[in-house]
Amino acid sequence: MDQTNIAPPCLLVIMGAAGDLTRRKLVPALYAMHRTGHLPASFAILGTARLEMDDTAFRAAMRAACDTFGEAVTDAEWASFAARLHYQTGNFNDAGAYLALAVRIAELDARHATDGNRMFFLATLPSLYAGIAAQLGAAGLVHTDPDGPFSRVLIEKPFGHDLASAQALNHALHEVFREEQIFRIDHYLAKETVQNILVLRFANAVFEPLWNRQHIDYVQISAAEHIGVGSRGGYYEESGVLRDMVQNHLLQLLALIVMEAPLNFTADRVRDRKVDVFRALRPLIGEDVYRDVVLGQYAASADGAVQGYHREAGVSPDSITPTFAALKVQVDNWRWQGVPFYLRTGKRLAQGCAEVVVQFRSIPFCVFGEEDTCARIAPNRLVLHIQPDESVHLEFATKAPGPGIAVDTARMHFDFQDRYPDAPPPYQRLLLDALRGEQLLFNRSDGVEMSWRFITPILEAYADHPGAEPYAYPAGSQGPVAADTLIARDGHAWQPLGGA
């Protein structure tokens, strides 16, 4: 075991420990880290929520969660992990509950020798974030001395619902925590292929000299889901696709593709360059919004087997909440001027996948003479598959066997799972980095606000435009026809979702 990968002693307090995130993601990830030795000996977990439970009941519930959503559980390994698990019932709106929590934290700190280090994971409704932070501060649970034991807070998206609310939440958190104590999660950033974007660009001399407007024609970034909103209809009615996917996941991917080389690979230098990208985004305002943004909403599938969004639980029958978005985005700087970036995301699409397609420019002149030969020379493409299968492939022209010159397209393919079958899933990486205080994979306050500064005018434009209802598209399709029209205006076409 590489000792540099082990976190320091810590007590992890999961606020909202009776919820789905804790069962499906957090505790299975922590159990896997325990099995592989990535948790220190002096480490404990305290779950808290309104649900009445004791330590024994919590441990039983978490074992069932690990059996269902994680790796195979063995009795011996579970016994040592269960000893780390504790629970306390509490109402997050009750100041007295935080005083009781402080007593329990002190007791567990002494029992598990966690040196006063603590981390709070807010696995709660986003509306509770600011209030929980204030109560933690008032109860004296947050260490403020940077030279003493550490206190950190992890926050899941959504981080605000527009620019004003994001600014207000940042202000509320900064009343209690310093910026370096705040870890804003975007789990896309922990996917290995997403991180590999920077390595691909800045560790390979063959790519970076071509990574500009002289050589790249356009870029497509897609994040498609085959599933619908399921039981989250009420939440989705409040968010919609722009808040749920574009403001965070897609803009983060865009920033990694577009950003300049950082001075070094430290968290703040990388995040500085990402913020530069958000500042350079050409605002979509006025008529530009309706020209360069297409919103859609899934209807019933063509065969009627899948119901439309209006029939989902918690959804208003006359809802105009978008479940699909396609955008044409421009980056106004020296490197990217004139290169269009097409972003696409949605639910109930033909296939669930996330990928980046970098389309290089066509050759300037065909030397092979034959018209049909020249017509078959496709531009080079670099495709990064982020999910479900993490891989990278490069398409290039080659001669097909036989007399004369017959051009074919070949592909060099790198499959991440084949090469690294034991790579940890995203939440293990996020938790380990947060425990070690490494913020590279987490969003900074100015980055969050700048991305909302780009998205909020789009939200406002559609909210103030009564005729701008989303286009209907059949469940199981590639999305609304209007999205095809958006990209076709520039002479391009979307790569089929999940296509080769």
Is residue 272 within 8 A of residue 206, CB to CB? The reply is no
Sign of CA dihedral 187, 419, 197, 484: negative
Show the tokens assigned to 218: 């356009």
Task: Confirm whether 174 is a catalytic residue.
Answer: no
Is residue 182 within 8 A of residue 439, CB to CB? The reply is no
**Which are the contacts of 26, defined by CB distance < 8 A and separation ≥ 6?**
14, 121, 123, 427, 431
Give the span between the Cα atoms of 55 and 53, in whole angstroms: 7
Strands 43-49 and 381-387: unpaired
Length of the chain as a residue count = 500
Residue 247 DSSP symbol: I
* Phi, psi values for residue 2, rounded to 5°: -75, 115
Scanning 70-220, the segments in alpha helix (DSSP H) are 75-82, 95-112, 129-138, 163-174, 192-202
Give the span between the Cα atoms of 393 and 412, in whole angstroms: 5
Is residue 367 within 8 A of residue 335, CB to CB? The reply is no
- Name the active-site residue from 86, 249, 413, 492: 249
- Please list the residues that pair with 45 across neighbouring strands: 12, 85
Give the span between the Cα atoms of 148 and 308, in whole angstroms: 54
Query: Catalytic amino acids?
Result: 249
